[in-house]
Chain A
Amino acid sequence: MNSLLRTFRYLKPYLPLSFVALIGLLLSTAGNLAVPALSQRIIDDGIATGAFDVVIRLGLIIVGVALFQALFSFLQGYLTAKVSQGVAYDLRNLLYEKIQRLSFSYHDQAQTGQLLTRVTSDVELVQQFLGTAILQTVGAAVLLIGSVTLMVSTSPQTAMVLLVLAPAAIGIFVFFFSKARPLFIEAQQRLAALNVVLQENLAGVRVVRAFVRRARESQRFAERNAGVMEVQLQVGYILTAAIPLVFFIANLATLGVIWVGGLQVIDQRMTLGELVAFTNYILMAIFPLFLLSFMLASIAQASAGAQRIFEVLDTRTEIAERPDAKPLPQIQGEIVFEKVWFRYFESQPWILADVSFTARPGQRIALLGATGSGKSTVTNLIPRFYDVTQGAIYIDGYDIREVLLESLRQQVGIVLQETLLFAGTIRENIAFGKPTASQEAIVAAAQAAQAHEFVMGFPEGYETQVGERGVNLSGGQKQRLAIARALLVDPRILILDDATSSVDFQTELKLRQALERLMAGRTSFIIAQRVSTVRTADLILVLEGGRVAAQGRHEALLESSPLYAEIYYSQLEGDTPAADRFVYDQTVESTVVTKEAAQ
């Protein structure tokens, strides 16, 4: 319920509009109340006295009132739509912004289907509530007060009927609300669970097909689908009980009025016209109760939705800027890891343990280690995707937790392990980090990333659509676009996390030559399984189980670190099969020469 009240805050920018809508509502309600009063006068003053002109005049007034009422009713409806859709728009933006800003650790746990449900379905529930419920409650209250006042002034005795029935209506209201609310929360949760299966099946369609898991996935979906239906049915059954009961109470009211009022008329304490008007008023007094009972559903649903919305909005962004955060000035590119420890959650094992090293500006750092030894984690900490658990990271002497995130990330170009392109043209994707880039700069980045050639192979070149609805790109092609994307931002720090795993050797060779030029003067971190990467590195970090097992240059490490030597030789062996030693022997001379040149 608290969450629901909180949604009212978002009405603030729309207060003037809401106010006008309210006036529209009040005026149309007034019109509503006027019609029975006019009808009563037609019967009592016109028909009873035989005055034709009164009948006609009052009849025409009713028509006038109808027009007046319709006008304001439309005004109210239109403005309400504007307000409620406006609030929904704002809430969606807020949620979206929040989701975009939540740190990697949140997204590691979150499911797209879940978040999607909150931004669409839950917001819609709140919107429906704000759109209909609030104004209608106010309108209903006005109608209630107005009709009760008129009733009491017409015949206090007959008005007693309401006194008996109102508590019954309120009782149903309370009972229903307490029953329905938990169910509505459950309903939204199950809907989100359904969305998760749906989203996974759309994103992972290839795997589902490859393993012929149609039956299993369908069953998984069917289970959740049934889950949604089940809880919706329960909600429905409560409605089945509540709504007819409310109608019954309304009918009882009419009955009571005719009964009590009829006796009053017989006793000549009330006119027939008044009785007729009374039957209308009592309906108007009961009508708000109706409305409330219908709105109960809306209220219960909306409060479930609101709760789920605020759950996301209230999630603390782990990677938050300090209030006194300063922009990171143009950096040289010195990076210092000082006793860095890292783990995802308190209960989990350390991913990084006591990692310390210094990367001087312009140096090339190679990260080496087994799968899962923490290489990617090291690089993920530099743009502050995660915060260190202990220790600190300094860039040019600034603790990265003390600078503005954007100013930090702008100077770090990263090619993530998992390449992801967005729906859009190739040009837009390369320019993702720098939308203002010129066509020449984009082409230059693509050329360096060895992507230009295949891009030009498409009939539409850089305007070719890629991403969800675009052309099929191979893994290597996607990686090269991702590299071009990182190069274009011209970062001081460049991180290549296994960026060329799907690129063939031939292309990689050219890519490496291009990167060689581009990396000059930039601090770069490279995670790759290639021998050539480590041989030319200024600093090699050998990671084992999250610790730095050894660090230094190639020659030194080869002598000092048995682990490094083992990795190095295992790779070398992997690259030169003994069976083809003759090829190696024939070319060994030139290879050695080039090796030395490279060093």
Chain B
Amino acid sequence: MMRGGPAHGLTREAEKAQNVGETLRRLLAYLRPHWLPLLFAGVMVLFNSLAQLVGPWLTGIAVDQFIVQGDRAGLIRTMWLLLGAYVVAMLTRGGQFLATITVGQRVLYTMREELFTHFQALSLRFFDAREAGDLMSRVTNDTDAINRTLNMGLAQFVGNIVFLFGVLVSMSVLNWRLALISMSVLPLMFLSTILFSRRARKAAREAQKKLGEVSAELEENISGVRVVQAFGREQETLHEFRRVNARSRDANVQTQTVTAAFAPTLDIFSTVGIALVLIVGGIMAIQEAVTVGLIITFLSYVRRFFQPVRAIGVLYAQVQTAIASAERIFKLLDEIPEIADAPDALVLDEVAGRVVFDGVTFGYEADAPVLREVSFAAEPGQMIAIVGPTGAGKTTMVNLLMRFYDVEAGRILVDGHDVRDVAVDSLRRQVGMVLQDTFLFADTVLENIRYGRLDATDEEVIAAAEAAGAHDFISRMPDGYATQLGERGASLSQGQRQLLSIARAILANPRLLILDEATSSVDTRTERLIQAALARLMAGRTSIVIAHRLSTIQDADQVLVLCQGRIIERGTHAALLAAEGFYYRLYRSQFGTEGEAVACAESGEALAP
């Protein structure tokens, strides 16, 4: 909603030189698996063109040989033949449609599928820097733009070229001089097509980009509508939306203006062509070099001749739109997932749960390290607590263990394997995670919990909910476990959402458990109940707990005190208290001894004995 500031990635992207040939080649590659229906369509097009060519020819015969001669029987005979040609034209056209529409939809399906699959493979860093709305626009609007061209366009393109060729041959055979004259406008038509299409592509690219911006604006503000209303900012956001919306409108008008100018330009040339045939043909007819029937046939041909030329021109402009969209799609598909399995990645079996951070340094952006040389070891079954001020890098440690991001320096080992050497799915499957930002799907309560383990029975889901202390409030909901949740679990309180995500993690029954502020919005009474359940769950598993309430972590085997990305203290709760360092002061401040300023200073690590 608010923009300006550093240049956007997308702007830069669009300005990069585009390789049209390469884009087209990739687009066509999508058609390869469908060669059979396309071949069928091609054959249909061929017959259709032939049938259409026969029409004017028979008409010419009817005029010259029968009407002018007054041969009724001959005229009627010819008409039956003409009818046959038209029936063939209809059937072949139908066949061609059937094939191309089917292929078009399948290609569209494949493209959306590929995009979505690719999204699933891309790393979080990619999504950190992109707007969801713009990505969505690529999956729907841009694929659709391509489809519009593919669906009808491609077969028509081929069909028209075949037809054009046929008309050329027929005309040349009938009268080559007249044929040459009719064709004299062709170079002009092609020239203008090339000129226009270049502008059309530019305009289309801009329009699709602006549409992506509208989509991004929408997505963000619909998601954030509550904040907008709370601050009474409807007017301002509307104003902002109007601005983006207007830019999109103008870009669209621009694109359509190019088209609006293009078609009439071609029309001028085709009418001039007709006029030429009439004038020159007329003069020839007066000189009795040609018959009137021939002129009629020619007029009919010329009209049908310009129709495909025009169609090809318009289509060519359309293809430009498709190319603009394809560029946006391929750009996405070409994003290399930062976090990808090495070819020889090890698939982790059930792990014992030894986690080692070895000199880990990391930053989301270059030159802004969030973690600096963090090292620690968690033995199987241990509970490690991470405490420290907000922004110290606690969640980042968890992000790295899950391999949402890769370390800059150092390494992270799970059971002695560097996390970069193992299959990322097999790593994440071992880890159950309750995130700071709970995320629920617009689905039933039951399915949301089941997300933790898809093959769980309803009973298991309910048992997990009970363990998480969520059963009570779920039971009180009108449809219980079948209650449909709103997007992101709207209409549930934050605490309730946290309980559901804890149930989800409990159900997953992982070897490693990560609780990142898992109970921060749960009231203390409920929290104590969950703590008991979590304690049972954590028994025998390695767990990493981030919590501000120090009371929840006193049983930790090791407490890591993080300050500005470094571990400044470590040890058990008791040892840290005895050391009377930062942790001690932090702990004391939680009793409401107000006024005591406790700041962590980034200094050398004071190891508690």
Contact = CB atoms under 8 A, between A and B. Distances in A.
B75 A262 contact: yes
A368 to B, nearest CB: 8
Contacts of B8: 469
Contact of B89 (A247, A372, A575): A247
Contact of B437 (A59, A475, A580): A475
Contacts of A80: 256, 260
Interface stretch (A35-43, A143-151, A332-340, A553-561): A35-43
A196 B136 CA distance: 10
B223 A109 contact: no
A409 B89 contact: no
A113 B395 CA distance: 29
B604 interface: no
Given A66-B271, A78-B257, A590 B493 contact: no
Contacts of A28: 264
A92 B72 CA distance: 62
Contacts of A507: 389-390
Contact of B140 (A63, A99, A195): A195
Nearest to A347: B478
A74 B260 contact: yes
Contacts of B267: 66, 69-70, 73
Contacts of A361: none
B12 interface: no
Contacts of B574: 579-580
A290 B223 CA distance: 44
A442 interface: no
Task: Name the interface size band of chain B.
Answer: 35 or more
B179 interface: no
Given A101-B234, A213-B451, A214-B120, A248 B87 contact: yes
A587 interface: yes
Interface in A175-231: 191, 194-196, 198-214, 216-218, 221-222, 225-226, 228-229
Given A77-B264, A406-B232, A107 B282 contact: no
B407 to A, nearest CB: 15
Contacts of A209: 124, 402, 404, 428
A272 interface: yes
B16 interface: no
A315 interface: no
A553 to B, nearest CB: 17
A505 B594 CA distance: 11
A215 B429 CA distance: 13
Interface string B205-239: 00000010011101111111111111111101110
A202 B136 contact: yes
A399 interface: no
A126 B286 CA distance: 54
A435 interface: yes
B46 to A, nearest CB: 16
Nearest to A472: B364
A507 B3 CA distance: 30
Contacts of A74: 260-261, 264
A112 interface: yes
A424 B4 CA distance: 8
Contacts of B520: 501-502
Contacts of A107: 222, 225-226, 486, 490
Contacts of B87: 248
Contacts of B172: none
Nearest to B492: A372
Interface in B7-21: 8-9
A236 B286 contact: no
Contacts of A579: 554, 574
Given A112-B223, A505-B589, A69 B132 contact: no
Contacts of A195: 136, 140
Interface in B127-145: 127-133, 135-137, 139-141, 144
B83 interface: yes
Interface stretch (A2-10, A164-172, A415-423): A415-423
Interface stretch (A114-122, A387-395, A517-525): A114-122
B110 to A, nearest CB: 9
A583 B526 contact: no
A358 interface: no
Nearest to A593: B593
A213 B432 CA distance: 13
A510 B593 CA distance: 12
Contact of B246 (A60, A89, A104): A89
A344 interface: yes
Interface stretch (B30-38, B96-104, B316-324, B459-467): B96-104
Given A88-B249, A229-B106, 17 more contacts: A35-B274, A66-B267, A89-B245, A92-B241, A97-B234, A203-B439, A206-B437, A262-B66, A272-B67, A385-B229, A420-B226, A432-B233, A468-B216, A469-B128, A472-B396, A583-B577, A594-B593
Among all A-B residue pairs, the 9 with the closest Cβ atoms: A77-B260, A476-B390, A424-B2, A66-B271, A236-B101, A371-B495, A81-B256, A59-B279, A70-B264
7 contacts: A77-B256, A100-B228, A203-B488, A206-B439, A210-B402, A244-B97, A531-B592
